[in-house]
Amino acid sequence: MSGSNFEQLSRAQLATLLPELLLCGHLIDRSGMAHTIAAFGRTGMTAVAIEEWQLASPVYTRRMQRAFGFTGDDVVTIFKGLQLDIGAPPQFMDFRFRVDDRDHGEFWLDHCGALLDVEPMGDEFVLAMCHDIEDPTFDATALATNPRAQVRPVHRPPRRPADRKPMCAWTVTIDAAHVPPPVPPNADRIAATAAARVVLADIDPADEGQSDYSGPLLSDLRFADFSKSALVRMADEVCLQHHLLTLGFLVALRSRLDPAAAIALGRKQFAGIAGLTAERLCKALKLGDDMVALAMVLRLHPAWNPLAYTDISVVEADGALQLTIPRASCAESDGSWPAMIDADHLAPLDAMARAVNPRFAAQTVDSTDRALTIEIIRADQPSRESTEVALTRFSTGAAFAFTDRGIPLPLTVV
């Protein structure tokens, strides 16, 4: 089992990085939206979004529950899972919770960045997201904890009046009389992936700080309260969420497109989120614009993590940088992001490099059945931002800033 790239960071740096990783996972969909709308129209885009989240979220939710010791079948367990889910990144998707008893609770969103992204597109797109997509995907997330859980709206957009707060509100009810939702087609395919089954290093319970989330539900997660060991594991798990959502996206594409067209669309989504994520990581950690900074960004980028899944190597020395993608990794066998890179398709890597310095560019050094080696060079002239990254900037999440909310409060039964 490989180590973790995140071990090189301090506890404070990891606490800064975690909300960034959660937000960038959420923005994967923003990267793909324009391309799926172009390919399938609004209705088809909605169907793809439903399928990818339904397939991925139960798998990664259960992984996070096991890793952080909050397995259970009650409302509190569901809410804790949402706080560590790329579908609900903190503050950008500002979930607030109330627990009535073990089987009843409510959540509402004081701020919903996803809604602010689609409201300018009109009510049809709002209805697609807040009704058509949320109904089956909220239930799929709850299903990971209890198949008898149902998530139902109290109110939701389109907002009337236009500035209504909270932006939406939902009840969560667990009842033995509830009929569990059907298991989505292809759920077994995602559950059988290497991403679903990869083993990561255990959290050291002796490390200073919180090692799990077995205590009370908190109003917010303050990542600085967790131990370094816990934050390393959390970062690796969140990166797996990125990959699992991507694998769900590819399953949805392949049922609608021929293989070549599906991978071409997948590469466009990858390039858009790759560049925006690299930019946010670089800014969050206050890195520079040289090869040393790029090496750090690449080692921490969710496309290349966790190491146990990707086995990616990034080597920087004397102003030169090489990235090696082995062809025998778990990520390659799954067909996730690393498998989309070959000697003729380096756009996602170009996007990452240019996010650190617009003069950086990727070129192939060697390509064999065993590995692909790519070098980052410094060009004479800067390159323009790619269309894929520019489209991803459509989201307000591209420039979203996190704030310190202070000490979180435990939420007890009302």
- Characterise 162 by phi-psi region: left (phi > 0), alpha (psi -120 to 50), beta (else): alpha
In this structure, are 125 and 265 located in the same domain?
A: no
DSSP summary character for residue 342: B
334-364: per-residue pLDDT in tens?
A: 999 999 999 999 999 999 999 999 999 999 9
For residue 408, is pLDDT > 80?
yes
pLDDT of residue 195: 98
Average model confidence (pLDDT) across the chain? 96
- Tally of CB atoms within 10 A around 49: 22
In this structure, are 170 and 271 located in the same domain?
A: no
- Domain assignment present for residue 162? The answer is yes
- Tally of CB atoms within 10 A around 186: 16
- Helical axes 228-254 vs 11-26, angle rounded to 10°: 20
Lowest mean pLDDT among 20-24, 100-104, 180-184: 180-184
- Domain assignment present for residue 249? The answer is no
Q: Which residues pair with 362 in a beta bridge?
A: 376
- Domain assignment present for residue 251? The answer is no
224-265: per-residue pLDDT in tens?
A: 999 999 999 999 999 999 999 999 999 999 999 999 999 999
For residue 414, is pLDDT > 70?
no
Please answer whether residues 99 and 76 qualify as being in contact, where contact means their C-beta atoms are separated by less than 8 angstroms. yes
How long a stretch of residues is the chain?
414
3-state secondary structure of 5: helix
pLDDT of residue 2: 65
Q: Of 389, 391, 383, 401, whose CA–CA distance to 274 is shortest?
A: 389
pLDDT of residue 319: 83
45-103: per-residue pLDDT in tens?
A: 999 999 999 999 999 999 999 999 998 999 999 999 999 999 999 999 999 999 999 99
In this structure, are 268 and 221 located in the same domain?
A: no
- Domain assignment present for residue 75? The answer is yes
In this structure, are 233 and 290 located in the same domain?
A: no
In this structure, are 101 and 221 located in the same domain?
A: yes
In this structure, are 146 and 288 located in the same domain?
A: no
- Tally of CB atoms within 10 A around 275: 28
In this structure, are 232 and 274 located in the same domain?
A: no
In this structure, are 319 and 223 located in the same domain?
A: no
Please answer whether residues 291 and 320 qualify as being in contact, where contact means their C-beta atoms are separated by less than 8 angstroms. yes
Last residue within a domain, chosen from 205, 240, 275: 240
pLDDT of residue 1: 43
Q: Tokens representing 105?
A: 């609770």
In this structure, are 303 and 233 located in the same domain?
A: no
Buried b (16+ CB within 10 A) or exposed e, 284-312: bbebeeebebbbbbbbbbbbbbbbbbbbb
For the chain, the domain total comes to 2
For residue 10, is pLDDT > 70?
yes
In this structure, are 227 and 133 located in the same domain?
A: yes
Q: Tokens representing 131?
A: 């009704």
For residue 387, is pLDDT > 90?
yes
pTM of the full predicted structure?
A: 0.97
- Domain assignment present for residue 317? The answer is yes
CATH number at residue 287: 3.30.1380
Strands (E), 33-148: 93-101, 104-112
> Domain containing 371: what range?
259-397
pLDDT of residue 317: 86
- Domain assignment present for residue 66? The answer is yes
In this structure, are 156 and 287 located in the same domain?
A: no
- Domain assignment present for residue 151? The answer is yes
For residue 186, is pLDDT > 50?
yes
In this structure, are 171 and 27 located in the same domain?
A: yes
Last residue within a domain, chosen from 240, 269, 301: 240
- Domain assignment present for residue 23? The answer is yes
Express as a percent the part of the chain with pLDDT over 70. Answer: 99
147-173: per-residue pLDDT in tens?
A: 999 999 999 999 999 999 999 999 999
3-state secondary structure of 43: helix
